[in-house]
Structure formats: structure tokens, C-alpha cells
A and B are shown apart, each in its own frame.
Chain A
Amino acid sequence: MLAALLQQADFVRPDIDWHALAPELTLLAVGALVTLIDVVFLEKGRKISPTIAGLGLLTVLIPIITLAVDGVASNPRQAFAGSDVYVVDGYSLILKALFVLIGYMVVLMSTDYIGEGDYWESEYYGMLISSLLGMVVMASARDLITVFVALELLSIPAYLMATWRKRDIRSNEAGLKYYLNGVFASALMLYGMSLLFGVTGSTVLSEINAGLGDGTASKPIVSLGVVLVIVGFAFKVSAVPFHLWAPDTYEGSPTPVAAFLAVAAKSAGFVALMNLIFVGFWSQNEIYGPALWILAALSMTIGNLTALRQENLVRLMAYSGVAQAGFMLAALSVAGESLDVAQTSVSAVVTYLIIYAAMNLGAFSVILSVSRRTRTAHIRSFNGLFQWSPALAIIMTVFLASLAGIPPMGGWFAKFGVFSALIEADVWWAYVLATLAAVNTVIAFGYYGKLASRMWFEDAPTEFETTPIRLPFALQSALVITATATIAFGVYPGMITHFSDIDVPGVAAAVGG
């Protein structure tokens, strides 16, 4: 039956480049292993599942490294011979590595949180790894179907992780909000995809680009399609006005999950957006350019302004994340001006993602650490932190400074890249956006600085014990790693640019080299 069907479809299985797929397969295996451990060892497996998950994630780096050594950066590989559906190149590889490392950091952050909270562990890590798998796939996805599948693969486990504290109604609410908004956004995106498929007759992004570029397609439909697809991912990166779920979800979900959503899910959204822009919509600059410009301007401004008045640190970080996403969108909004600018903005966004991951995970780690004592994420709980836990205060200051973009912490270089792309574009709207971005860095310091001044300038609160906080090893490691990375990236940005200075995905092929 199946054979007959295949024959009817004239289907020949393409050659599969197993090496190119090795990271995904390894990740899959790790996920399976973690789930199996639970099945086999039951309660006894609880203790080791985070370790297995963590080690497993590090193992995934091995095929990534071998691929890098193999030179995919200069010589992209097609996972399925002759098809642009799934491509492993320098761009996707660095992002895969980033996702895996983010996953590892989240494992470090989660170990004690999940372990102490009497939650299911192996399922948690299983979900985490599934979601990561979706992201890793997303990095290489060059086809609407693959993009869709990757998106759902990364989203569905995330909905569940957000609801992980299932007896806590706030966590339930967080998950529900994320879920409903998420599926609605997916549905809109799918509608857009269907339109794009309709006008081009293909689901492969490079072919869509060709189809859109030949000028035969109906402009309004193309515009609607492109916008709806962008909206789908703008939701993922929590760009204004598609950001409202983020603060609620982050606040309600377990803090490590919030960090995961804020960093990994957002990065995945950007990866998808870049895939679409540089491969699928490259010829449609007049559509995605203004759309992203508007989203960027709104996200930066509204994200920062709203953050000024937040009293819950997680919500504050959520709005801060909205604003940071606005910065990255700003770089993307001018990417279509020329290939040079595209090059700069891809580098800028990837650099931004890496630095953002380090500093944001770090900030969430500190919040997690402090709330271990205070049991709240209210901004007041940070009062006088410098007096009673100076190390945490200093580390948090590093992250805040980095988020605000103050050298020598990494954040400055991230913002620098964005400015650099905007100015290289050399068009007036880019300069306007650059000025707006400059103003926004100032507004942003309004709340970062206020938090810093709470930690340093205020007296310690009295409602809980103010002795130095002792942290479990995993959390300590997370803090040290993120802080070191944040400072090192800022002092010697060459560390990142070595990796992030990659070719624009697919464009070379799309514009004919």
C-alpha cells in the first residue's frame, strides 16, 4: 500500500547526509534516553536525570564541532541531497550550538529548582530537550513545512513547561495564556503560509523567493501572507504589539522556564525570521522592511517605557526582553537594503543573540538565586542586596550594565552591532531608528539603573533573613559561566565575532552569488 503510494508519487528517497543531521539525531537520542531512564528506574532515576540531560546536551556539541571542523561555514551541506529544504551552514551551526548551550544553562538553573519543588523531573528534561530539538531543527529549516513542524515542536513542550507547577493556579494561567496566544499566532501564520504557497506553488523557501520575485504574484496577497508569517514569529520574539503574553507567562511559569522562554524561544523566533527574510522573502524588502521597522520602533519604545513601571522583576525582565527584541528587529529591518547591510545585520543579530543569552540567563539566575531566599520576585526584595549578599549584587550589576549596553560588559557590543547595521544602511529611516534606539538606551537605564540603585543604595528589607545566600553548585556554575561570558564578550568581542561573522544564509544562492 505504502509502496504503491510512493510509486504513484514518483518518490525516490534522496540521499541523506547523516553527518549533517547528526546533532539533531544525537539530541533526539538524549531526549529518548532521559525519558527511558524514568520509565526504567522510576523514582531512582530522579537524581540522575538532570545530570544525564546536561551531559547529553554537551554531547550534542560533538557533532556540531565535527561539522564545524568539516568546514560547513564555507561549504554548506544539504541534509537531503539536491534539496534546499534542510541546510546546514555556518549560520545554522552556530545557532544550533547556541541553543544547545542555552539548554545546558537552563538545565543548570533547573536542577535544584525542579528537584526541590517535587515536580516530575525526567518529563521536564524530556520536554526541554524536545523543545530544543525544535529549535535546532528550526536553524536549518528552509521549507515552510519544516519551519512549521519545528515551530510546533519547540512550542508544544514549552506550553507544558510553563504550566509545570501544575498545582499553582498562576502557573496554569501562564501556560494557558501562552498556549492560547501561541496557537492563535500559529494559526495566523499558517494562514499566511497558505497564501504564500498559493501564489508561488512551493513550500521551499528559495523557490518561494523566486516565485515572489518574478512579479507575477498578486501584491496584496503577498503582503498579507508575508505579514501574517512575520506576525507568527513576532509573537515568538514578543515584539510589540504581540508581546502581551510574555510578562504574564514569565511571571507565572517557573523561573528557569521563564528564562528558557525569554532566551531560547526568542532566539528561535529570530532564527525563523532570519530564515524567512534572507531565504524566502529576500525580494520583498518593501514589505518586510517597513513591517519590521514598525515592530522594532514599537518594541523598543513601548517595551522600555512599560518596564519603567514594573514591580515584579520577572515582568521587568519580560519587558526588557521586549525592548531587546526591538533592537534586534531594528537591525533586521534594514537588512534588505543591500547584501553588505544584510551581512552586517545577520552578524549583528547573531552576536546579539549570543550576548543576550549570556546576560539574560545570568540575570534570571540571580533572580532565581535571590528568590530562593525571599520567595518572591518583587523588586523590593533586591533592596540592599549589596549589603547582605554583595557577590550576587555585583554579578547582577554586571548583567544589568550589560543589558543597558554599558561597556565593558558584553551588551555594548550587541547594541553596537545594531547601530552599525543601521548606519551602514545609510537611509534616513535607518538613522531615525538609530536615534530612537539611542534614546531608548537611555530610557532602559531608567529601570536597570533603578534596580541597581535598589541593590546598592537602599537598606536591606526586614521581612526576611538577610544573611549571605548559599547557592547550590549548579546555580553557582550558571552564575559564574554567564557572568564570565558577559564580561569576556564585552572586553574581547572578537570571541563572538569569530563565530558570528557568518555568511547570510541562502542569499548567495537566492541572488545568484
Chain B
Amino acid sequence: MYLVQFLILSSVLFCIGVYGVLARRNAVLVLMSIELILNAVNINLIAFGAFNGAAIPAEVFALFIIAVAAAEVGVGLALVLTIYRNSKNIDLHQVDLLKG
């Protein structure tokens, strides 16, 4: 096993996540894409920790990220719900009242 394999995996995940965030029009899919990026981060952290002999901070960091991500997604879904309630729509391209 080599570190670089993990890094390649994580960067692929990162790229997919970024693509999702930038390209998907559905708000929920965007939220999921963000999760992908965060998971890429987690993989990075764990891999680096394992290979650097600094496993504990890496794992702690990853745990925090997982926890916080959960909270974030909670808030995110709440926001999406509110939007949906007001405009019956979660297409992000339609959300452009504020501009200029």
C-alpha cells in the first residue's frame, strides 16, 4: 500500500465533489457533493496520519469533520426545505432574486 494511492482516491473524490457542487442544479445533490469533498478530506487525513505516524490527531480531526458535517447538512436541508416551502422548487438556478 502506498500513500499516493489514497491521495489519488481522495483527489478523485474531491474532483467529483467539486463537479457536483458546481454543476448539479438540485440543491440536495449539491449537499451530497459537498459531503463527497469532506470525505475526500477525511481520507486524506487518515491516510496521512497512518503514514506519518500521527494517527491520533488525524483521526480526531476526521471525527470532528464528520460530526460538523452532519450538523451542516442538517442546517442545509432545513434551508432547502424552507426554500421549497416558499417557492415549491429546489432548482438552484431559479434562486436568483438577489443579484446585481
Contacts and interface: CB of A to CB of B under 8 A. Distances in A.
Same complex origin of A and B: yes
Interface of A: 9, 144-145, 148-149, 152, 156, 159-160, 163, 166-167, 169-170, 172-177, 179-180, 183-184, 186-188, 190-191, 193-195, 197-198, 201-203, 247-249, 251-252, 310, 315
7 contacts: A145-B60, A152-B68, A163-B82, A169-B97, A170-B98, A173-B97, A252-B97
Given A145-B61, A172-B82, A187-B41, A194 B48 contact: yes
A183 B86 contact: no
A193 B62 CA distance: 11
B71 A190 contact: no
Contacts of B98: 170, 173-174, 177, 247-249, 251-252
SS class of chain A's interface: helix, strand, loop or mixed? helix
Contacts of A9: 56
Contacts of A310: 100
Contacts of A191: 14, 37, 40-41, 44
Contacts of A249: 98
Given A149-B68, A156-B72, A187-B38, A144 B61 contact: yes
Contacts of B52: 198, 201
Interface residues on B, range: 35 or more
Contacts of A202: 54, 57
Given A148-B64, A169-B83, A198 B44 contact: yes
Given A179-B76, A193-B61, A197-B49, 17 more contacts: A145-B64, A148-B65, A156-B72, A160-B75, A163-B79, A163-B82, A169-B86, A175-B82, A183-B34, A187-B34, A187-B41, A197-B45, A197-B48, A197-B61, A198-B47, A203-B61, A248-B98
Nearest to A196: B48
Given A148-B65, A195-B44, A166 B82 contact: yes
Contacts, number: 119
A152 B71 contact: yes
A144 B57 CA distance: 10
Contacts of A160: 75, 78
Nearest to A310: B100
Contacts of A148: 61, 64-65, 68
Contacts of B87: 169, 172
Nearest to A159: B75
A183 B61 contact: no
B34 to A, nearest CB: 5
Max chain A C-beta neighbours (<10 A), residue from B41, B44, B56: B41
Contacts of A169: 83, 86-87, 97
